[in-house]
Every structure is written in C-alpha cells, then in structure tokens.
Amino acid sequence: MPEAAGATAAPAASAPRPPITVKLIPFGATRKAQMADYSQRHYHQHTWKLTNPKAIVLHHTSGATWEPAWWTFANNTAYESIPGKPEKPGVSAHFIIDKDGTIYQCVPLTVRARHAIGMNWSSIGIEFVQEDHSGKDGHWMDRQILARTAQANAGLRLVRYLQAHFSIKSKNVVGHATANASPYFKDYTGIKNAAGDWFAPEVKAFRARL
C-alpha cells in the first residue's frame, strides 16, 4: 500500500535514466514457471511476464546494507502470503536503492517480481535500504529514507524515469502499506497486504517531490 495534491498529474514526457548497477538475481526457467503458477492462483493469468506496468510500489528493507536484501531475493525461499501455505517464487523486487544512492537492478522490467500482494501483475517494486530500530515504527523508517538526501534523490530520479518510460501517473506511485487501495490491486485468493512500510503520509511526501 489520501492522495497528494496534484497527484493525478501526468508524468513528464521524458526523464533521464539514472545510473543503475545491474545485479540480477537468478530468475531462470524454473523460477519463471513458479511465477506463472503464482500468477494463475492470484491473478488468473498464467504468465511470468510484466507487460505495461501501471504502478510503482515503494518498500523498505530491514537491513543496513543492500546485500542481505539481494541475497534474500536470490535465495528464492518459499514465502507464506497465505498462512500455512508457503509458495514459490520467493520474494523479490526490481530495484534496491542503497543509503548512498546507488541503484541496484535485481529483476528485469519485463519479469514479474513478488513484492506486494495484489500488485505483482501490474507494478514495479523498489526497495530502499533501511534497518529496523527497536521501538520505532514504519513511519519512522520511512522518514529516515526521506531525510537521507542521496538515497531519496536517487529514488526520485528512478521513479521519474520509470514514470516517463511507462506513462505511470504520480497517483499510482504507492507504498506497500497503501497498495490495497490501488485501482490495480487484485488478488483472487482474497488476501491483502498487512505491511508496515511506506504509509500514506510518507508516500504523499515522496509524491510531492516528484
């Protein structure tokens, strides 16, 4: 997973591609077949392909560096979105943005990544590196990212580029915690996101900078 003022505005006609370090996770025939089967169960679409993405979902990691998130994605460990029913493929996102602003691409933009319930069929997932902190909630974590100039600016540059490339409006840049309200959310198993990253106030603040 309230809209920001002017959030319905169309994206810029063009935006430069930011520097991106391509470090793709293994996503061969077996994992693609798993993604197609997952998509059939959840979206009634038997395909692993991401065509014409319509939304961008913001996330944050639970570690201090990008490597643990990358390895989590690469390991392809079965994950339970339905309690008691672990499924493959494992979780992943298309991009990880490190604290210093380095953008790592983990999954091709033509491939569905499993990053947000109900949104994997139609969206690009972006993870921002941010560790958990005892006693602090997701709002606090999101605010650390917004206050980290290099990281936040890299995220804005990447989102602007993706918006221009795929004609994605700012109102369709959502947080994991707000994704259930997206018009592109659907899941035929009936499950929804119960996420604690990128709540509405922080998404609104991010959109305002686009």
Q: What is the pLDDT of residues 24-47, one digit of tens each?
A: 999 999 999 999 999 999 999 999
Query: What is the structure's pLDDT at 197?
Result: 94
| Segment 164-192, tens digit of pLDDT | 999 999 999 999 999 999 999 999 999 99
Mean pLDDT rounded to a whole number for the chain: 93
All residues at 6 or more sequence positions from 56 whose CB lies less than 8 Å from its CB, including other chains:
123, 124, 125, 126, 159, 162, 163, 168, 172, 173, 174
Cβ pair 199, 138 in contact under 8 A? yes
| Sheet strands side by side (includes 173-175) | 21-22, 103-105, 95-97, 123-128, 55-60, 173-175
In whole angstroms, what is the distance from residue 117 CA to residue 193 CA? Answer: 6
Indicate the pTM of the whole model: 0.93
Q: Residue 3 pLDDT > 50, yes or no?
A: no
Q: How would you write the chain as a 3-class SS string? A: CCCCCCCCCCCCCCCCCCCCEECCCCCCHHHHHHHHHHHHHHHCCCCCECCCCCEEEEEECCCCCHHHHHHHHHHCCCEEEECCEEECCCCCCCEEECCCCCEEECCCCCECCCCCCCCCCCEEEEEECCCCCCCCCHHHHHHHHHHCHHHHHHHHHHHHHHHHHHCCCHHHEEEHHHHHHCCCCCCCCCCCCCCCCCCHHHHHHHHHHC
**pLDDT of the residue at 9:** 52
Which pLDDT score is estimated for 69?
98
Q: Per-residue pLDDT for 5 more than 60?
A: no
Q: Nearest to residue 202, comparing CAs of 150, 145, 118?
A: 145
In tens, the pLDDT along 79-138 reads: 998 889 999 999 999 999 999 999 999 999 999 999 999 999 999 999 999 998 877 888
- Which domains does the chain carry? 21-209 (3.40.80.10)
What pLDDT is attached to residue 7?
38
> What is the percent of the chain where pLDDT is above 90?
88
